[in-house]
């Protein structure tokens, strides 16, 4: 990592994000867009302002040197990075920070930490990059036991590269950029680029079933896990490196998505990609979102496997600077380290035209360098994508509601589902905020359905920002669950999605998972309230 | 199913398999090949010859009409279809048949059966097509409780087809041909064609993580499961139909591969394929297996995703009639319902030539009909593939050892791994049988490694047929496990692979799975000895 310091209260580096001047311009835009009389820009919290409750525990001597009770560390590990988290930070609400933050540098220290927690009844919350948007890393408000947040950032190395099988053994605490930096000299890439890429870790991606770069085929991190090493309170689980296996239920699949309730992932063998050499990209516009959705379905069912296949509705396209707000935009790209992609793109473009897509001649670019095709709508969308979390924090400071939610649904149900979810969200936004926008894009697409991703921006009453969002979130989530979707496609469950996750997952499965947890974590120290429990 | 009757003692229909005349010719070939003085063709068992132990239980009145204690039913549900199973049948060893065979016609009867078994301490063994080659459906010899085999063949319908999402809700007891018959009129296919296709069921494929038609990308049935319905002794688990999800560990992945120890799969929503319209196929020869393996690796890492990519070593190619025994043969095919495949095949052929593959001009066929390209080496291989289980039974009758085993391994370790496994198997065959052949093919290929599949044919002492095979199997399995492979890529674990599976799976995972089983099946009635337990 850098010498720069991370914000303890929000996204990214302390010295990044919109400047005061930029914030003023954003405020002007908001005033115009939502007919607001004024927009106040509130000041983010400073550590000195916070009054954290006293730390209630003393670590064993052997662990003292890796444990911190510093206010910056405790405050920085209190919340994830959701809208709700940033609002609470602006409210200076740090009532439930972890008592300590531990920074282990090796597996033995992790084992010692879990032993200590088990022995003394201390809650252990595994912490990767802290980018959870689902309450996955916060000490529960109703938790009476002391809490230690275990920050895995010290386990940040690529340990081994197997060039023949194109795989690497990687420590789980490595952040996205540091991971890619270590692979690049060898000509490889993991090519897993969630929006949180800069401030999230391999272990966090695996524990939360992160969704990445590839819009089709290999959408979740799950697909790239060759084997896992997990430290549980009662033993270490290490699976074999296997390209495929049919020996019983997959051991890895139990831990992938377990969100820190079963153990701490310390290492994984990950399947790598050669760095792409060929790239073909196109921007296609549609008069309706559904027409674009039909084209995405055709492409997803054709066996073409584009790396990008992101459909933005008209509003989303406009916000991202990829359209004028009248048409939906489909960003489609193929990439390969092996072969040119003309045949692939030609057929994808045909699929788009079959469904009314307009493909201007200059909208198709085929290049021999990955970096070459980043202009136009795709480039605008990408830079907006990466900068979005900084912008979101600025919007929170201006008293706006700014948040996203996402799901997946089969194609047959998508039109009614989307109408119900958009309808519920728009109705709630209008009733609660008076104005606001709800937009939709597809982040990933499967042969049997899309993963729709919704973004909300709405003016709120600063004092009620949290409560207003809660109502909107509840309305949208109920619509998702009632209409057959999943409460999360790649944002994870955490604590915030429990109400709806509990309706979604089969009870029988929850009982099986609880039994597994009781077996591996008999003292119930690991991340209580996430996925399971009252 | 047909009006014809299944063999109770071996593979397939009673009226199929080699005729007496054909058996004579096979015997002559064997004599010549292994320098045998004579080959006796033993007579398969007849039901009247068997003395089954008495049935020890009476079902409740409400279940009496679906339970059979007929000798044909009990004998037919005593074994799977492995070499070991057929040898025991030839030995007339039916000491441990199920006490009863139940033929439920709906879920309520399955619930009633499991309730009865739980209440009365009766072991319940889920039975699909009975094609297990890993001891997955046999009553354990050391089981003191009575046993009922639950034959799911009555649940044989495609219940619902979703044309938009290209998926169908299908009952788990349907056999491969009946499943395809029900999908064909709608233009769809599951396109899952394990060697057992004719006599295995959807539920069996899911419970054992069956490997199917596609040699790359979507290799296991796992990939086609959209949602599952499972009856456990303590409740029904039904997952949502979702194209993708990140909500906790996948509920389906706990049941996929659970081999009947957690519950009985009754229905699944399965992702379908459009019937292929375009097909490109090629046969490529290599002077060495490793050169062929290098080509397969290049293709698997290129992102081309051929549907067939089966590499046969020289001996395997000769046995299958796809070569003269001097060269390895790679059968490669692409198929699509959507687009022509010239660009895909052209690049795959380049990958082959880059690694010394010889591709005669007439060996590449591109056709617009799926059925068109089945001649030549590929056609010979396919008909040999489907007929193999009948032939295997005939070889057993002639006192031969004839069996297969399979695994997966990463590319970096493949050369040493293959040498160790081939070496161990050949050494054991030579020491134990004096002569015999061990051959290898790849059934599936991944970016990070192949799934090698080994076939053994060797003359044995008929009285020691079983024991001799046990020794060979133990030697090969030890080599697989010691060299980092999986004890099964798609044949499942059952009871026969337990020794090596127990070394392979992480102990921590076994504890978690055991805990889940105790929770869902507290009486321990479901398929004891499979995957778990003493």
Reported ipTM: the value is 0.96
pLDDT at B376: 66
A162 CB within 8 Å of a chain B CB: yes
**How far apart (Å, rounded) are the C-alpha atoms in residues A27 and A22?**
9
Q: How confident is the model at residue A387 (pLDDT cuts 50, 70, 90)?
A: confident
pLDDT at B364: 80
Nearest CA in chain B to A516: B512
**CA separation, residue B346 to residues A176, A274, B321, B365 (Å):** 36, 21, 26, 11
**A111 contacts on B by Cβ (under 8 Å):** none
Pairing state of beta strands B67-68 and A449-459? unpaired
Cβ contact A448–B243 (<8 Å): yes
Spatial CB neighbours of A355, under 8 Å, sequence gap ≥ 6 = A286, A291, A292, A294, A295, A298
Pairing state of beta strands A264-271 and A225-232? antiparallel
Cβ contact B167–A492 (<8 Å): no
pLDDT at A375: 55
**How far apart (Å, rounded) are the C-alpha atoms in residues B345 and B105?**
46
Spatial CB neighbours of A150, under 8 Å, sequence gap ≥ 6 = A102, A104, A110, A113, A124, A125, A126, A127, A264
Nearest CA in chain B to A273: B301
pLDDT at A373: 44
The side-by-side arrangement of strands in the sheet containing B308-312 is B364-367, B278-286, B328-336, B308-312, B437-446, B449-459, B400-406
**A264 contacts on B by Cβ (under 8 Å):** none
Biggest alpha carbon–alpha carbon distance for chain B: 69
A248 CB within 8 Å of a chain B CB: yes
Q: Of A408, A497, A506, which is closest to B244 when you measure between CB atoms?
A: A408
* CATH architecture for the domain at B278-493: 3-Layer(aba) Sandwich (3.40)
Shortest distance, CA B441 to any CA of chain A (angstroms): 16
Q: Which two tokens stand for residue A285?
A: 């516009």
What region does B368 belong to: left with phi over 0, alpha with psi -120 to 50, or beta?
alpha
Q: How confident is the model at residue A84 (pLDDT cuts 50, 70, 90)?
A: very high
Q: What is the sign of the dihedral through the CA atoms of A506, A512, A514 and A516?
A: negative
Q: Which two tokens stand for residue A125?
A: 């919350």
pLDDT in single tens digits along all 534 residues of chain B: 457 899 999 999 998 989 889 899 999 999 998 999 999 999 999 999 999 999 999 999 999 999 999 999 999 999 999 999 999 999 999 999 999 999 999 999 999 999 999 999 999 999 999 999 999 999 999 999 999 999 999 999 999 999 999 999 999 999 999 999 999 999 999 999 999 999 999 999 999 999 999 999 999 999 999 999 999 999 999 999 999 999 999 999 999 999 999 999 999 999 999 999 999 999 999 999 999 999 999 999 999 999 999 999 999 998 888 888 999 999 999 999 999 999 999 999 999 999 999 998 777 887 776 544 455 676 676 777 777 889 999 999 999 999 999 999 999 999 999 999 999 999 999 999 999 999 999 999 999 999 999 999 999 988 899 999 999 999 999 999 999 999 999 999 999 999 999 999 999 999 999 999 999 999 999 999 999 987
pLDDT at B381: 65
The DSSP code for B196 is T
Nearest CA in chain A to B415: A164
Q: Of B164, B245, B489, which is closest to A245 when you measure between CB atoms?
A: B489
Spatial CB neighbours of B287, under 8 Å, sequence gap ≥ 6 = B327, B328, B356
Q: What's CA B397's distance to the chain center, in Å?
A: 22
B223 CB within 8 Å of a chain A CB: no
**How far apart (Å, rounded) are the C-alpha atoms in residues A400 and A434?**
12
- pLDDT above 90 for A377: no
Cβ contact A248–B234 (<8 Å): no
Q: Give the H/E segment covering residue A388.
A: helix A376-397
A48 CB within 8 Å of a chain B CB: no
B410 CB within 8 Å of a chain A CB: yes
The side-by-side arrangement of strands in the sheet containing B100-102 is B67-68, B100-102, B147-151, B123-127
Q: Give the H/E segment covering residue B187.
A: none
Nearest CA in chain A to B497: A247
Q: What is the sign of the dihedral through the CA atoms of A424, A425, A431 and A432?
A: positive
Q: Of A166, A257, A512, which is closest to B516 when you measure between CB atoms?
A: A512
Give the residue extent of every domain in chain A: 22-51+278-491, 52-276+497-534
Shortest distance, CA A423 to any CA of chain B (angstroms): 21
B343 CB within 8 Å of a chain A CB: yes
- Contact (Cβ atoms closer than 8 angstroms) between residue A356 and residue A285: no
Instruction: Report how many Cβ contacts below 8 Å link chain A to chain B.
Output: 307
- Which residues of B, range 269-308, sit inside 8 Å of A by Cβ? 271, 274, 297, 301-305
Domain B158-274 of CATH type 3.30.465.10? yes
pLDDT at A226: 98
Cβ contact A246–B490 (<8 Å): yes
Residue whose structure tokens are 């990075």: A81
Query: How far apart are the two ends of chain A, measured CA to CA in Å?
Result: 37
**CA separation, residue B192 to residues A470, B175, B179, B222, B271 (Å):** 46, 11, 10, 11, 11
Shortest distance, CA B323 to any CA of chain A (angstroms): 28
Q: Of B255, B491, B513, which is closest to A246 when you measure between CB atoms?
A: B491
- Taking residues A308-315, report their average pLDDT: 96
Q: What are phi and psi of A274, to 5 degrees?
A: -65, 150
Residue of A296, A284, A318, A324 lying closest to A442 (CA atoms): A296
Q: What's CA B97's distance to the chain center, in Å?
A: 22
Shortest distance, CA A175 to any CA of chain B (angstroms): 20
pLDDT at A393: 93
Q: Which two tokens stand for residue B471?
A: 């020794």
**A347 contacts on B by Cβ (under 8 Å):** 338-339
Q: Give the H/E segment covering residue B224.
A: none
Q: Give the H/E segment covering residue B51.
A: none
A416 CB within 8 Å of a chain B CB: no
B28 CB within 8 Å of a chain A CB: no
A504 CB within 8 Å of a chain B CB: yes
pLDDT at A381: 65
| Alpha-carbon torsion, ordered B462, B464, B469, B470, to 10 deg | 160
Q: Of A164, A208, A244, which is closest to B246 when you measure between CB atoms?
A: A208
**B410 contacts on A by Cβ (under 8 Å):** 162, 164-165, 167, 226, 241-243
Model pLDDT for residues A452-488, shown as the tens digit of each residue: 999 999 999 888 999 999 999 999 999 999 999 999 9
Q: Of A220, A251, A490, which is closest to B509 when you measure between CB atoms?
A: A251
Cβ contact A247–B497 (<8 Å): yes
- Contact (Cβ atoms closer than 8 angstroms) between residue A440 and residue A456: no
Spatial CB neighbours of A412, under 8 Å, sequence gap ≥ 6 = B162, B163, B164, B165
Q: Give the H/E segment covering residue A294.
A: helix A289-301
pLDDT at B524: 98
**How far apart (Å, rounded) are the C-alpha atoms in residues B179 and B1?**
11
Cβ contact A447–B297 (<8 Å): no
Q: Which two tokens stand for residue A330?
A: 């489909």
Model pLDDT for residues A219-244, shown as the tens digit of each residue: 999 999 999 999 999 999 999 999 99
**How far apart (Å, rounded) are the C-alpha atoms in residues A79 and B220?**
40
Pairing state of beta strands A147-151 and A123-127? parallel
Cβ contact A257–B244 (<8 Å): no
**B412 contacts on A by Cβ (under 8 Å):** 162-165
pLDDT at A362: 75
- Taking residues A155-160, report their average pLDDT: 98
Residue in B234, B247, B304 to test binding to A, most A beta-carbons within 10 Å: B247
pLDDT at A374: 52
B119 CB within 8 Å of a chain A CB: no
- Taking residues A369-380, report their average pLDDT: 58
Coil, strand or helix at A99 = coil
What region does A272 belong to: left with phi over 0, alpha with psi -120 to 50, or beta?
beta
Q: Of B250, B253, B410, which is closest to A165 when you measure between CB atoms?
A: B410
How many CA atoms, within 13 angstroms, populate the side-chain half-sphere of residue B413? 24
Vertex A124, ends A118 and A127: CA angle to 5°? 150
Long-range contacts, A89-92 (Cβ 8 Å, 24+): A89/A8, A89/A9, A89/A10, A89/A44, A89/A45, A90/A9, A90/A42, A90/A44, A90/A45, A90/A396, A90/A397, A91/A466, A92/A45, A92/A49, A92/A50
**B505 contacts on A by Cβ (under 8 Å):** 239, 247-248, 251
Q: Which two tokens stand for residue A480?
A: 């998702």
- Which residues of B, range 352-391, sit inside 8 Å of A by Cβ? none
Find residue A235's DSSP bridge partners: A232
Cβ contact B251–A505 (<8 Å): yes
A229 CB within 8 Å of a chain B CB: no
Counting residues of chain A whose pLDDT is more than 90, the rounded percentage is: 88
Spatial CB neighbours of A127, under 8 Å, sequence gap ≥ 6 = A77, A101, A137, A149, A150, A151, A152
Q: What are phi and psi of B312, to 5 degrees?
A: -105, 135
CB-count burial class (<10 Å; 0-12, 13-18, 19+) for A369: exposed
Cβ contact A247–B486 (<8 Å): yes
B345 CB within 8 Å of a chain A CB: no
pLDDT at A462: 84
Q: Can you spell out the DSSP letters for B226-263?
A: EEEEEEETTEEEE----S---SSS-HHHHHTT-TTSS-
Cβ contact A449–B251 (<8 Å): no
User: What's the CATH number of domain B20-153, 1.10.3720.10, 3.30.43.10, 3.90.1300.10, 3.40.50.720?
Assistant: 3.30.43.10
Class of domain A52-276+497-534: alpha beta
pLDDT at A372: 43
**How far apart (Å, rounded) are the C-alpha atoms in residues B34 and A285?**
69
**How far apart (Å, rounded) are the C-alpha atoms in residues A333 and A279?**
7
What region does B159 belong to: left with phi over 0, alpha with psi -120 to 50, or beta?
alpha
| Alpha-carbon torsion, ordered B462, B468, B469, B475, to 10 deg | -170
User: What's the CATH number of domain A22-51+278-491, 3.30.1490.20, 3.40.462.40, 3.60.21.10, 2.120.10.30?
Assistant: 3.40.462.40
A42 CB within 8 Å of a chain B CB: no
**B343 contacts on A by Cβ (under 8 Å):** 339, 342-344
**How far apart (Å, rounded) are the C-alpha atoms in residues A189 and A182?**
9
- Contact (Cβ atoms closer than 8 angstroms) between residue A279 and residue A370: yes
Q: Of B248, B513, B531, which is closest to A501 when you measure between CB atoms?
A: B248
Cβ contact B336–A303 (<8 Å): yes
pLDDT at A376: 66
Q: What is the sign of the dihedral through the CA atoms of B440, B444, B447 and B448?
A: negative
**How far apart (Å, rounded) are the C-alpha atoms in residues A526 and A532?**
11
| Alpha-carbon torsion, ordered B345, B350, B353, B357, to 10 deg | -20
Cβ contact A410–B490 (<8 Å): no
pLDDT at B323: 80
């Amino acid at each position: 990592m850098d010498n720069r310091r991370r914000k303890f209260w929000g996204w990214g580096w302390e010295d990044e994000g919109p400047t005061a001047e930029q914030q003023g311009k954003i405020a002007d835009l908001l005033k115009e867009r939502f007919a607001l009389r004024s927009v106040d820009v509130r000041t983010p919290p400073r550590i000195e302002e916070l009054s954290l409750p006293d730390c209630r525990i003393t670590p064993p001597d052997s662990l003292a040197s890796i444990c911190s009770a510093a206010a910056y560390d405790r405050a920085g590990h209190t919340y994830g990075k959701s809208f709700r988290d940033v609002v609470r930070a602006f409210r200076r609400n740090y009532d439930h920070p972890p008592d300590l933050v531990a920074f282990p540098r090796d597996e033995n220290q992790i084992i010692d930490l879990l032993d200590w927690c088990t022995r003394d009844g201390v809650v252990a919350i595994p912490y990767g990059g802290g980018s959870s948007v689902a309450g996955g890393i916060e000490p529960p408000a109703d938790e009476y036991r002391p809490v230690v947040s275990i920050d895995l950032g010290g386990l940040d190395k690529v340990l081994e590269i197997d060039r023949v099988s194109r795989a690497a053994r990687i420590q789980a605490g490595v952040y996205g950029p540091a991971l890619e930096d270590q692979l690049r000299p060898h000509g490889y890439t993991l090519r897993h680029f969630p929006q949180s890429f800069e401030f999230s870790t391999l272990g966090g991606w695996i524990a939360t079933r992160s969704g990445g770069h590839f819009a089709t085929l290999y959408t979740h991190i799950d697909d790239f896990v060759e084997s896992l090493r997990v430290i549980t309170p009662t033993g270490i689980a290490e699976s074999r490196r296997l390209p495929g296996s049919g020996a019983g239920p997959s051991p890895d699949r139990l831990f992938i998505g377990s969100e820190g309730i079963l153990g701490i992932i310390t290492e994984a063998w990950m399947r790598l990609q050669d760095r792409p050499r060929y790239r073909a990209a196109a921007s296609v516009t549609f008069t309706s979102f559904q027409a674009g959705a039909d084209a995405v379905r055709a492409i997803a069912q054709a066996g073409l496997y584009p790396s990008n296949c992101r459909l933005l509705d008209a509003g989303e396209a406009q916000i991202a600077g990829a359209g004028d707000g009248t048409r939906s935009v489909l960003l489609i790209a193929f990439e390969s380290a092996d072969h040119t992609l003309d045949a692939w793109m030609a057929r994808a473009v045909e699929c788009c035209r079959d469904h009314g897509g307009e493909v201007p001649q200059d909208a198709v670019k085929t290049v021999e360098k990955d970096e070459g095709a980043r202009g136009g709508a795709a480039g605008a969308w990408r830079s907006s994508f990466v900068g979005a979390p900084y912008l979101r924090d600025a919007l929170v400071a201006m008293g706006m509601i700014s948040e996203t939610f996402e799901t997946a649904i089969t194609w047959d149900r998508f039109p009614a589902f989307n109408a119900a979810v958009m309808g519920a969200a728009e109705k709630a936004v209008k009733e609660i905020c008076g104005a606001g926008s709800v937009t939709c894009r597809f982040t990933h697409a499967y042969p049997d359905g899309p993963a729709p991703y919704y973004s909300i921006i709405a003016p709120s009453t600063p004092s009620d920002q949290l409560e207003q969002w809660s109502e909107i979130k509840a309305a949208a989530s109920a619509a998702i669950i009632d209409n057959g979707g999943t409460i999360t496609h790649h944002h994870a469950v955490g604590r915030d999605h429990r109400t709806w996750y509990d309706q979604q997952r089969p009870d029988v499965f929850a009982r099986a998972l609880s039994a597994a947890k009781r077996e591996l974590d008999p003292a119930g120290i690991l991340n209580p309230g996430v996925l399971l429990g009252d």
